[in-house]
């Protein structure tokens, strides 16, 4: 009896583990949204690196974890994207898993880096500071990240207020949204918005929105999410981890 129960339990456990491993694997997804808007999503170690092709330019959004440079380059090659053809790298915020390879891509491929003024100190610290965990799992992640180092970064452009990418020849804009960090930037093109760590998808059901792992002021986070939901032109949100998310699903889960 006990033996049978143990067999069933180990079977269930192995299914859970393999489901989580499958959901959190590295991946490459290319989407042709419409003419003049293509999005390639590279996922390495659960951090998303987006490549947006727009107005004949390529914009990288976030850069993943330090040490993942070669994996990211391999996915770029698989997608047929030449790193030296990337014009700009926009950092949504200064956490290690978004800024990790930025200095490498900036110096090796002469990619211009755009970041938020409020996170300039993070760019120059080079060490991950403690985070405000929103769950037990997040506390465990926080412990694993604390004290990890990343290469120092000097952004080419520091953004303080709303920034029209039109001045760089790209139809799109950057909207600062302090909350997750002081210098968090949202990046939008037509009906699509890249939201960094404003929100995330669930670990397994990744198109289901969930509270991000790290957030110091939950009420402020709720207000920011409501603000973006109020920008009704954005129907799809691309977060830094898991996703993407439909705005209508965010509205459903964030009453």
Question: Please, are residues 196 and 93 in contact by the beta-carbon 8 Å criterion?
Answer: yes
To Zn ion, the closest distance from the beta carbon of 89 in angstroms equals 16
Strands 173-176 and 88-90: unpaired
Please tell me whether residue 53 binds Zn ion under the rule CB under 5 A. no
Q: Which stretch binds Zn ion (CB under 5 A): 12-20, 62-70, 94-102, 108-116?
A: 94-102
CB of 134 to Zn ion, least distance (A): 12
Q: Which is nearer to Zn ion, 54 or 95 (CB)?
A: 95
d(CA 112, CA 104): 11
Q: Which is nearer to Zn ion, 133 or 229 (CB)?
A: 133
Task: Kindly state the DSSP code that residue 207 receives in the 8-state scheme.
Answer: T
Stretch that binds Zn ion, among 26-34, 81-89, 197-205, 245-253 (CB under 5 A): 197-205
Selected binder of Zn ion within 197, 198, 238, 241 (CB under 5 A): 197
Which residue reads 């959901």 in tokens? 23
Among 95, 200, 236, 241, binds Zn ion (CB under 5 A): 95
Burial (CB < 10 A; 0-12, 13-18, 19+), residue 151, is middle
- Shortest Cβ distance from residue 34 to Zn ion (Å)? 29
Q: Could you identify the residue written with the tokens 């170690």?
A: 45
| Tokens matching residue 135 | 């769950």
Q: Alpha-carbon torsion 136, 128, 40, 246, what sign? A: positive
Mask for 159-178, x = binds Zn ion (CB under 5 A): --------------------
- Window 111 to 170, contacts with Zn ion (CB under 5 A): none
Task: Name which of 79 and 141 has its Cβ closer to Zn ion.
Answer: 141
Give the strand pairing for 112-116 and 27-34: unpaired
Q: Which two tokens stand for residue 218?
A: 């939950």
**In the complex, which residues of this chain contact Zn ion (CB under 5 A)?**
95, 197
């Amino acid at each position: 009896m006990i033996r049978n129960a143990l067999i069933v339990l180990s079977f269930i456990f192995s299914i859970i583990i393999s489901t989580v491993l499958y959901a959190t694997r590295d991946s490459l997804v290319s989407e042709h949204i419409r003419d003049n808007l293509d999005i390639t999503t590279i996922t390495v170690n659960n951090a998303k690196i987006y490549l947006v092709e727009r107005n004949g330019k390529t914009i990288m959004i976030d850069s993943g974890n330090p040490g993942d440079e070669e994996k990211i380059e391999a996915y770029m090659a698989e997608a047929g994207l030449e790193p030296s053809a990337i014009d700009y790298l926009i950092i949504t915020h200064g956490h290690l898993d978004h800024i990790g390879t930025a200095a490498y891509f900036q110096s090796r491929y002469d990619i211009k880096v755009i970041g938020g003024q409020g996170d300039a100190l993070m760019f120059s610290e080079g060490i991950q500071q403690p985070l405000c965990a929103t769950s037990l799992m997040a506390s465990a992640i926080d412990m694993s990240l604390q004290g990890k180092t990343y290469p120092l970064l000097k952004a080419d452009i520091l953004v303080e207020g709303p920034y029209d990418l039109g001045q760089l020849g790209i139809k799109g804009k950057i909207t600062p949204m302090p909350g997750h960090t002081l210098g968090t930037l949202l990046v939008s093109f037509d009906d699509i918005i890249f939201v960094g760590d404003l929100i995330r998808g669930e670990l397994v059901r990744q198109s289901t929105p969930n509270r991000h792992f790290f957030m110091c002021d939950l009420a402020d986070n709720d207000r920011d999410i409501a603000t973006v939901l109020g920008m009704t032109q954005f129907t799809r949100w691309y977060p830094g981890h898991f996703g993407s998310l439909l705005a209508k699903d965010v509205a459903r889960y964030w009453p």
